[in-house]
Structures are given as C-alpha cells and as structure tokens.
Amino acid sequence: MEQLEMYKKLAGEKAVEYIEDGMTIGLGSGSTVYWMMKKVSELVKDGLTIQGVPTSKRTEGWAKEFGIPLVDFSNVEKIDVAIDGADEIDSELQLAKGGGGSLVREKIVDILAEKFIVIADKTKLVKTLGKFPLPVEVVPFGYEVTAKRIANLGATPVLRMKDGKVFVSDNGNYILDCQFQAIEQPELLHEEIKGLVGVVETGLFVNMADIVIIGNEQGTEIITKNR
Ligand SMILES: O=C[C@H](O)[C@H](O)[C@H](O)COP(=O)(O)O
C-alpha cells in the first residue's frame, strides 16, 4: 500500500476507538472515511450495535456493501459521533471540505454531532486555509451570476467538471471551486459567501471539529481544540 493511503488508513481506523455500542454515527465521505467504514464493518460483524447516517450516496453504497446498518436521517434526534475527512485543516482546526462534492450533506450531519472527529493524512495540515480551491455548492440556475458575485469577493471560481460533463452533487447542484488567496478569516468568508443569492453552502467548516486524527509516519497524532 502506498504511504499516503497507509496514513489515511491509520487515521480512519484510530477514529473507530471513539465509537461505543448503541451509538448513532455520522458517516462522512471520502477516501479516508472508507478505511474508517471498513473497520466499523469488522466491529459490526463482531457484534457492535450501531446505526449510521451517511453523508453521501457513495458512503451509503459502502455502508450497504460492508453491512453497516443505516438509519433514516428523518428519524434521528441526535448523532453521538460524526467521523469525516477534510481537504485542509488549519492550526485552529478550521476545515475546508468538499473535494469530493459532498459538503452539504456532510455539514448537515457533522454539525448535529455531539463529537465531530476529523480524520486525515498529514498532508492536509496547513497553517492557513486557501491553497486548496474552496468548494462552494450553488444552485444550477444562474450559476454564472453567482460565480461573478463570488469572484467579487476575491476568488477565481471554476465550475467543477467530471468526465467531460458538469459535476452534479448528490443534491442536484453545481460546485464552484474557488481559489482565494490565504483564508485568514474563515468564519467571515463563509458568511460573506453564504450571504450571496444562489449559494447553497460553502466547504468551510468553522468551529466544528472537536478532535482531529492525523495519520503519519509515527502512527497517529490526536489534536484537540483545547490543546
Ligand atoms: O466532499 C468530500 C469530503 O469533504 C471529503 O471528506 C474530503 O474531500 C476529504 O476526502 P479524502 O479523505 O478522500 O481526502
């Protein structure tokens, strides 16, 4: 297994230690989450009773494939732990997410969790967010106008494409990947973008992460917000 994949696996498997019998778990999205779900499925086979809330169609597919029980989100009152990946994590544990296009459902689920755990390989740690173009989910109608409004905030928005076609999110929307300069004030930028008509959600997950688990050559590093 290549090194980066091993770091993702280490972080994903470590996060499972926070799961207890009877919990409702937010199942994030992405390649690091894949390893967490593989480990959860082993525990479920050994008798662990949990129910999962998937944050993307892809995650839902993995859960079904791996035998992880799912619950209808509309019947969920609380999520004990959500475990999700990230594209960037800054020194204040602010996150940029949505590289896989799952940011809206992720935010809806992750924000409800009593404990939100982020799992990532060490390359995701940054001093300041902004190197990774910020994903912003927008309504398809008039997206060109919305893109111009975001550009006025200092970004270069690019409509996300996949296999030669416009990428469509699980919610039927488009994603604009917005290259900003360094994002020094994520909360402010999130509010500015979110205030624009046509914007559904931004990939900035501000003041949400409780614990970050980083996979690296030593194994795992646990970073908490009260460190
Ligand atoms: O939309 C995708 C999600 O926000 C992912 O959690 C994020 O892109 C990190 O994915 P990965 O673990 O594959 O790097």
Q: Is residue 33 part of a domain?
A: yes
The ligand 1 atom nearest the CA atom of 106: 4
The answer on pLDDT for 42 being more than 70 is yes
Residues 178 and 192 in one domain: yes
| Residues with Cβ within 8 Å of residue 93, at least 6 apart in sequence | 118, 209, 212, 223, 225
Tell how far the Cα of 7 is from the centroid of ligand 1, in angstroms. 14
pLDDT confidence of residue 225 = 79
Residues 73 and 40 in one domain: yes
Tell how far the Cα of 71 is from the centroid of ligand 1, in angstroms. 22
The ligand 1 atom nearest the CA atom of 84: 6
The answer on pLDDT for 216 being more than 90 is yes
Residues 12 and 59 in one domain: yes
pLDDT confidence of residue 125 = 98
**Residue closest to 87 by CA, chosen among 152, 132, 52:** 132
Residues 142 and 196 in one domain: yes
Under 8 Å between Cβ of 129 and 182:
yes
Considering the entire predicted model, what is its pTM? 0.97
Q: Is residue 9 part of a domain?
A: yes
Q: Is 100 known to sit in a ligand binding site?
A: yes
Residue with CA closest to ligand 1 atom 7: 86
Residue tagged active-site, from 88, 106, 137, 201? 106
Residues 175 and 90 in one domain: no
Strands 174-179 and 156-159, by their bridges, are: antiparallel
> Looking at residue 88, which CATH number applies to its domain?
3.40.50.1360
Pocket of ligand 1 (CB under 6 A): 28-32, 84-87, 97-103, 106
Asked whether this complex has an ipTM greater than 0.90, the answer is yes
106 is catalytic: yes
Segment 183-212 mean pLDDT: 98
Q: Is residue 224 part of a domain?
A: no
Roughly how many angstroms between the first and final C-alpha of the chain, as a whole number? 32
The answer on pLDDT for 56 being more than 90 is yes
| Residues with Cβ within 8 Å of residue 46, at least 6 apart in sequence | none
pLDDT tens per residue, range 63-119: 999 999 999 999 999 999 999 999 999 999 999 999 999 999 999 999 999 999 999
Segment 143-151 mean pLDDT: 98
Residues 12 and 115 in one domain: yes
Residues 194 and 210 in one domain: no
Tell how far the Cα of 43 is from the centroid of ligand 1, in angstroms. 23
pLDDT confidence of residue 107 = 98
How does residue 226 score in pLDDT terms, banded at 50, 70 and 90?
low
Residues 67 and 113 in one domain: yes
The ligand 1 atom nearest the CA atom of 102: 1
Residues 106 and 155 in one domain: no
Question: For the chain, how many structural domains are there in total?
Answer: 2
Segment 123-148 mean pLDDT: 98
- By residue range, what is the domain housing residue 88? 3-123+206-217
Q: Is residue 128 part of a domain?
A: no
Residues 58 and 152 in one domain: no
pLDDT confidence of residue 58 = 98
**Which tokens in the block code for residue 159?**
């409509």
The answer on pLDDT for 165 being more than 80 is yes
Q: Is residue 225 part of a domain?
A: no
pLDDT confidence of residue 214 = 98
Residues 65 and 78 in one domain: yes
Residues 100 and 166 in one domain: no
Q: Which of 6, 7, 9, 29 to mutate to test the pocket of ligand 1 (most atoms within 8 A of CB)?
A: 29
Strand order in the sheet with 204-205: 88-89, 95-96, 204-205
